[in-house]
Amino acid sequence: MRKLKIYILLAMGLVTAMSCSEEKIVDEVLQTVERGLVLRTVANLSTTYNLLDPSSTFGVTLEAQDSEGGQLLSEVRVFAQFVDNTVVDDNDLSSSEAQVATIPASAFSEGPFGFPRADLIVSLSEALTGTGTDSGIVDGGDAISFRLEAQLTDGRVFTNRAAGTVANGSFFSSPFAYSAGINCIPVTPVIGDYELNLTDLYGDGWDGAFITVTIDGTDTQYTIAGGSAASFTISVPDGTTELVFTYTPGAFEEEHVFELLAPSGETAAAGGPGPTPGEIVLNICS
């Protein structure tokens, strides 16, 4: 029994020593680690550019968080680079990185949790002009990448390239970097014959799911009543002012796949398995 008591006392002493040691380490870290700033992504305002609309924008809402409640922020510098994802004959036309905007601390206003917030919005024309990119070389599938630099009032700079920065996704959603894809979203209906191909991976129909095509207020639904596939030709006549494709889900969504070919023959949209419900965004560059 005496040995047991001794072991218990020794164990308690070891735990106490470890606890004291950990407290000292924590205190030392808190006293010596340099604190910086994160730019938390509060909301995505728009994440895709429309090549057919130079005024289309990329946008996010940022929230500055630091040890002084965001008061250490001096400004946020915005850098952009055109990324050529449609390289032809090994001729990569990607641009160098260039600064395209600056958001001063005065542009931030207090958010609902007491931290300063501001919207970062850059149009496609601003991004291309700022990076020295000729719009004639841009194609659907290319992208604009963004990198942010947050400068503090004491001169320190934080970005996704700096040691100590919360980078490339984190608990705080503070990547300091974003990518906006460039699509060709028609601003007016593209006329001609579309080909809609539906597939059910199990082979028993679309289980209540369907695609609705709205042409000038007239709705037509397309689905697979049974079997593994179905194809439809959708004619969009000259003079059409409204053309909307919408996906409505059903049961067993993991079985549903579709592809929509534009009159030019290029893939205007595709989805599945498990297509995203709602309006189908078209990408028609030719």
Q: Are 255 and 273 in contact (CB under 8 A)?
A: yes
What is residue 155's predicted lDDT score, i.e. its pLDDT? 93
Residues 59-81: tens digit of each pLDDT: 999 999 988 877 899 999 999 99
CA pair distance 71, 281, nearest whole angstrom: 41
pLDDT higher than 50, residue 58 = yes
Whether the pLDDT of residue 210 is over 90: the answer is yes
Token pair for 196: 């809609």
The confidence band for 124, taking pLDDT boundaries of 50, 70 and 90, is very high
CA separation, residue 162 to residues 39, 65, 99, 113, 193 (Å): 14, 17, 17, 27, 52
Portion of the chain with pLDDT greater than 70, in percent: 83
Residue 187: which residues within 8 A CB-CB, separation 6 or more? 50, 52, 53
Q: For residue 66, what pLDDT is reported?
A: 84
The radius of gyration computed from the CA coordinates of the chain, to the nearest angstrom, equals 27
Structure confidence at residue 90 (pLDDT):
86
Instruction: Convert the pLDDT of each residue in 147-181 to its tens digit.
Output: 999 999 999 999 986 443 443 334 456 889 999 99
Q: In the predicted model, is pLDDT for residue 139 greater than 70?
A: yes
DSSP, residue by residue, 162-180: STT---SS-TT---SEEEE
Split at pLDDT 50, 70, 90, the class of 2 is very low
pLDDT value, residue 35? 61
Per-position b or e across 93-110, b if 16+ CB within 10 A of its CB: bbbeeeebbebebeebee
Q: Are 260 and 269 in contact (CB under 8 A)?
A: yes
Q: What is the mean pLDDT of residues 250-261?
A: 97
Confidence of residue 286 (pLDDT cuts 50, 70, 90): confident
